[in-house]
Structure 1
Amino acid sequence: MKRRKFTQLHFMALLLALGGMTFVATALGAGWPQWGFDQEHTGAVNVAGQKLNHILANIVYDPFVEDEKAPENGDGDLLVHYQTPLVDGNDVYMEFKTGTYTSITTWETQIWNEKKLSWVGNNLVEQWSFQTDWKPVPFNPPGPSWEPVFHATLAGNFVYVPGVGGTVFKLNKSDGSVAARYNPFEDQFAASMFLTGPITADSSGNIYFNAIKLNMSNPWGNDVSNSWLVKITASGAISLAQFKNIMTGEQGPNDPCEVGFSTPPPWPPTPTAVAPTRPCGTVRPGINVAPAVGPDGTIYTIARNHFVTRYGYVVAVNPDLTPKWTTSMHGILNDGCNVQIPPNGTPGGCSVGATTGVAPDTNSLPSGRVFFARCGA
């Protein structure tokens, strides 16, 4: 995948140009209260944004960009996920990072904050700042290699902000004070518990998020301890369900799941080669996934088996967190050899005699894969 490189100047200008664009939309009655705009992640407002040729404000929310792009960290790329600026009338709510940046492998030394800024005349002025104790899941080469997303959401008169151990802060929009802190789990702010993606709010003010408990001795090499879909109502009632209980027909922890050939390309090694397998691991949510909520209250999220990327699932859950349906994305495509890949036997193509449509690295139909660096359900 080709990565786009940003200078810090471009990085800041991009944010504020987009921030200005969403502000214009808000002036016409739209706003942008959460990731993907609304509970269904429609991702659009019915207004025209301003032209991206004028910076309305210039505010740095990540002071560590040059360190993050250093050769030993991003090798020139900015491998960081950021919150969408949340817009409510004249107000903008945004993630700001402080603390200390040490390296990409120890990104947890940073501190994540949520700030409210308001347009006062022609200036975007800070109104309050709230320091959270949220930490991302740990870096590991087999695990996330992009810094995971910290992402708040607006609902009613409140801002819901991620906290450590799978907890959520409920802040008053007016002054940033803590109205409540919700802990869905028995563990008191356990370091092995993580809120793993954007918080979603529905039209009734209920919020939803995914959480995971890792084995911290080897989080991506050992199986996941547990994972949950969490729902908190506007009144503060908490319900949660384990991913293994909201899914149907998924691969089990010890079932064999295919992985790629270990031999050098071209692949497949022979037209009849069978891919190697390994235990799948327990199902869990994808990292950086924001649940979506349909008009009827159905909740949609993305899951995968812990050890393999080719076994991903779209999961539909009833409003009471009982299973509705699960659809596997394994082997549902046919765009491999001789389709989206150069002809067999040519440079970049599959080996001679490979079956049209198969994935060259497994010699089976390609899958919708769930990697670590993805957002949204």
Structure 2
Amino acid sequence: MTNAERPTTQRIHSVDGLRAIAFLAVFAFHTWEFAGRPEIPVLSSVVSQNIRPDFFVVLTGFVLFLPFARRPERMDEFRTRAYLWRRMRRIVIPYYVALAYAVLLPQLLVVIMRVLGREASWQPMPGLGDWLSHLTFSHLFFAEYWSSMNGSLWTMSLEMQLYLLFPLLLIAANRWGVRALIVAIVLSVIFRIAVALFVPGEAFPDQFLWSASGLGRLMEFAAGMLAAIVAFKVVDRIRRPHIVLLLGLMVASYLVATAPVFGGTVLPIRELGLSALFGSLIVLVLSVPAIGRVFAWKPLSYLGYRSYSLFLIHQPTAWYVSEFLQKFLDIPEGPLLLLLLWTVGFGVVFAVGQLLFVTVERPCIDWAKRARQPASAQA
């Protein structure tokens, strides 16, 4: 990305490519689970890490802070109410539609099965607590509700918490600069240590739910904000030794984050390592034109632009595709089922996600843009 591109380009297509990679990571993880967690050399060890929540949190911090990293004077124009209103317009309605889809899809499939003369049982409907907690984005605070309607949508509660924390971080960054983000990372680490030491119950889900909160993941969110600052400071000065150094940091961060030896420590080594990994990746993508072009590849950026819709519906869709392949075509769990899910299943998920994008998400994007203040039109 050159200096000439920065003032005029609203979308950075390589960032959409990063979103696509994050979505493909979670799709690969869930379909690998649906296929019975087959043991495939190298692939299984990578896919099983389920790095998608961490990747998306770092990306969220980066994207929200990106306009202010590009133009620091925009901090004086920031209005919390307008920002929150745009966020609500952008994400809430597609999320609500996805909840309805997750509830109604199994009922529709039961009807279809009975019309075809096959046995099928009605699925239990969510209760009042399920609906209230999910509609208010508070389901991550309840062990009985956090995954009850769609197992992958617990992250929507986390995202909403981070959206609410962002104005505070922005004010702090405006006043104290990078030091404020470092303090936020330290506070998040202290919180995670306290959770590991003092929260009673099992590591999953009791401690997990605390750790997965906005404060527990704040270190990754702040790492994304730091990546935005670093990327726009070094974009014109990065040289080959810096690239080698960043690549080495990424490899080391991944190895540390996934090393079993750190699994039992109270320190959030995994999250810190993945923060460094994804933050470094973002800096490379924005600073090295050759790498940026790879992630800006049109099919990848096209997928990334639609990644929110695809994410919202991917789990129930892929699950029922796997059920169809096993029960109707007698495909057993294993590598073949995984291959079919990564091809046929991905096609079905993309078709449903594209429908949601065209009919719901894209109008919400336009609606959110209309809510921007004139001074913020180029954010």
TM-score by length of 2: 0.22
When you count helix as a share of all residues, which structure comes out higher? 2
Q: Which has the higher contact order (CA 8 A, sep 6+)?
A: 2
TM normalised by structure 1 equals 0.22
